[in-house]
Structures are given as C-alpha cells and as structure tokens.
Structure 1
Amino acid sequence: MAGYGYFPAARADFLRRLGRIDEARSAYEEALASTSNAVERTFLTTRLDNLEAGGEGQL
C-alpha cells in the first residue's frame, strides 16, 4: 500500500470526514508532493484550501 500513489489522498479524505483536520492536512500535503498531474494537484489544493478556511465538512 505504501507505494500506491492515491493512498495519501484517500487517507486525507477519510481523515477530513472524521474531523481529524491536522492529520488530513498532512495527508493532503503528502498527496500533493506525490503527484505532478495538474488536475489532481488542483483538486488536492482546493481540498487543502477548504481545510485552511474551516470548510472541512464540505465535499
């Protein structure tokens, strides 16, 4: 599982839904560091920005 590129993004989403915001933030940052795909980066950056803005409950 450690080498699976989508694992950090999936983990981040689960943590966000559980309200574990600090852990979700770290996982989103890890996911961003592991992808160079522009669409994925935009999605992950938006999710991370939503956490920063206090919108953790948003899908």
Structure 2
Amino acid sequence: MSSNNISIVNLVLAIFLPPIGAFLQVGFSAHLFINIVLTLLGVFPGMLHAIWLVVTNKTGD
C-alpha cells in the first residue's frame, strides 16, 4: 500500500476511538497528546483532529 493512501482501519478508529486512530497514524508525538486533550474536552473535537491526521497522512514529528 502506498503511503499516499488513506488507511480505512485508521479512519474507522479515528471516528470511533480518536486517540487510538491518532496513535496509529503518528505514534507518540505532540499530535497524540493534543488529540487526547481534545477528546477529553469533547469527543467531536478529538474525532475531527484524528480524522484530519489520517486524511492529511501526517506522521510523527
């Protein structure tokens, strides 16, 4: 699979379990901790952030 393809598994996890989807996309990075905070503040912001990470194909910084 090309690195430009969106992983369906990561996208589904980003929707239902945002921190797990973010972790699979970026590993232990600042984006993961941002996603955890956003998810604790409300599931919807965490979900949007995780989906953004998967769609833009971000990697750990």
TM-score of Structure 1 vs Structure 2, range by shorter chain: 0.3 to 0.5
TM-score when normalising by structure 1: 0.39
More contact order relative to length (CA 8 Å, sep ≥ 6): 2
Higher helix share: 2
